[in-house]
Amino acid sequence: MTLRTITRRIAVQEDAPSILQAAVDGAREVLGTAVAFAASAQDDRNAYVMSATSGTTSAALGNIVIPPMVGLGGRVARLQRPMAVHDYLTDESITRDFVDVVVGEEGLRGVACVPIHTALGVAGLLYVAIRRPGYLADRALDTLADIGTSAGVALDGALGQARQRDLSALRERQHLASALHDSVAQTLFAIGVEAKRSRDGDDPRALADALSEIAALASQAGNELRETLHRINEIPSRLSLAVALDAEARAFERLGELTVRVVTDGDPRPLPEVCKTLICDTMREGVRNAVKHGGAHIVVVHVRYGHADVGVTVQSDRSVARQEGRPPRPTGGLALLLARAQALRGELELVIGEEGEAIVRLTLPSYRTDVETLTA
């Protein structure tokens, strides 16, 4: 396990609990410590509560609440820098608040802690600990700080995405209210006017005419409502590929312990169906191979919209056996995808990354959405 792999695992998480758990698991694994855990800030930043653990045996550790300047974590939060103690039991800077739990129940002695910085301040505290007196090895505290930095960046990203989702939901509700007001509400108002007029009249023929008008208006309102809901639910053509890839990702995740994340760079634009199908098939084949041959737990699908091309890269967190000499040639299902890519004047390649991971990369030239362009 390398720091780069841990950073990648943290980056693909989508919410704060998952980010902190990935940081805790990664810190314990890469540093080889007995225990790792993290505390996250309460909304007022006046205390930190335990929110993720790895290797712990005591449930009481998860109930600790850390005020600023109390204990090792409290000082790290206030001073905003990494710190470590050789022996939590005897260190004079440690208060007695948590010794019964940290030492008495969990048996921890050498402890290190780093702040998790975000744009809003110290959002969390990341710890590793051993069950004997001692400090971390040389540069290990720097590595822990790097993991904390990665977690902070991921937390900022998750917060931004959550705000964007909330904003999009608000805009969608406003759009729905406006669309319904402009169409159905006006028709319903007209129905009310006709109903009132028919109630006040005594002429049977006029009443029949009013009821006929009401029926026509009600039918019109129903049609307008269906059209409005169709427009709201319709997937924009520029987003159809993203929706398809997300559906593929969720389908793979339902099959087992696999996380698939789709990341998009550039401005999405409509693509011909033949291109979208090839991109989806490439993602599907790449993910299957990553799981089958590499035992992957995390797969990142990177979609890039360039000025003159569009591409997709499928990369996992697990390595495969390195191959010496020339880069590997796609075989089996990838060979068929290569032929389809070349027919569209594109390219598909299978490469081995720096850590031995297999990477499938598809690149297609930018086409107009008309079929004639593809068959010219």
Band of pLDDT at residue 357, cut at 50, 70 and 90: confident
Domain end among 180, 205, 235: 235
- In terms of domains, do 153 and 100 share one? yes
- In terms of domains, do 330 and 262 share one? yes
Q: Which residue has the higher pLDDT, 107 or 356?
A: 107
The whole-number pLDDT of residue 180 equals 67
The whole-number pLDDT of residue 229 equals 61
Region of residue 162 (phi > 0: left; psi between -120 and 50: alpha; otherwise: beta): alpha
- In terms of domains, do 105 and 87 share one? yes
Q: Which residue has the higher pLDDT, 238 or 134?
A: 134
Band of pLDDT at residue 237, cut at 50, 70 and 90: low
Number of domains into which the chain is organized = 3
Q: Which range among 155-164, 300-309, 345-354 shows the weakest confidence by mean pLDDT?
A: 155-164
pLDDT average, residue stretch 160-171: 68
Instruction: For residues 279 and 359, give the distance between their C-alpha atoms in angstroms, rounded to a whole number.
Output: 14
Q: Which two tokens stand for residue 77?
A: 């939060």
The whole-number pLDDT of residue 83 equals 93
- In terms of domains, do 201 and 52 share one? no
Produce one character per residue of 338-347: b if its CB has 16 or more CB atoms within 10 Å, e if not.
Answer: bebbeebebe
Beta bridge partners of 313: 302, 361
The whole-number pLDDT of residue 53 equals 93
pLDDT average, residue stretch 159-173: 69
Q: Is the pLDDT of residue 324 over 50?
A: no
- Phi, psi at residue 29, to the nearest 5°? -70, -45
Going from the C-alpha of 52 to that of each of 18, 127, 144, 286, 291, the distances in angstroms are 9, 10, 15, 32, 27
Band of pLDDT at residue 92, cut at 50, 70 and 90: confident
Q: Is the pLDDT of residue 326 over 70?
A: no
Q: Is the pLDDT of residue 149 over 90?
A: yes
Domain end among 189, 219, 235: 235
315 by Cβ neighbours in 10 Å (0-12 / 13-18 / 19+) ranks as buried
The whole-number pLDDT of residue 170 equals 66
Q: Is the pLDDT of residue 210 over 90?
A: no
- In terms of domains, do 27 and 110 share one? yes
Percent with pLDDT over 70 in the chain? 81
CATH of the domain at 252: 3.30.565.10
The DSSP output letter for 362 is E
Domain end among 161, 192, 209: 161
Mean pLDDT, rounded, of the chain: 81
The whole-number pLDDT of residue 116 equals 94
Q: Which of 43-47, 208-212, 264-268, 355-359 is the most confident on average?
A: 264-268
Q: Is the pLDDT of residue 355 over 90?
A: no
Q: What range does the domain containing 243 cover?
A: 238-375
Percent with pLDDT over 90 in the chain? 30
| pLDDT digits 0-9 by tens, 125-141 | 999 999 999 998 878 99
- In terms of domains, do 191 and 308 share one? no
- In terms of domains, do 218 and 110 share one? no
Provide the whole-model pTM. Answer: 0.55
Q: Is the pLDDT of residue 168 over 70?
A: no
The whole-number pLDDT of residue 323 equals 47
Q: Which residue has the higher pLDDT, 45 or 18?
A: 18
The whole-number pLDDT of residue 48 equals 92
**Closest C-alpha to 35, from 123, 125, 108:** 108
Q: Which range among 36-50, 142-156, 204-218, 223-237 shows the weakest confidence by mean pLDDT?
A: 223-237
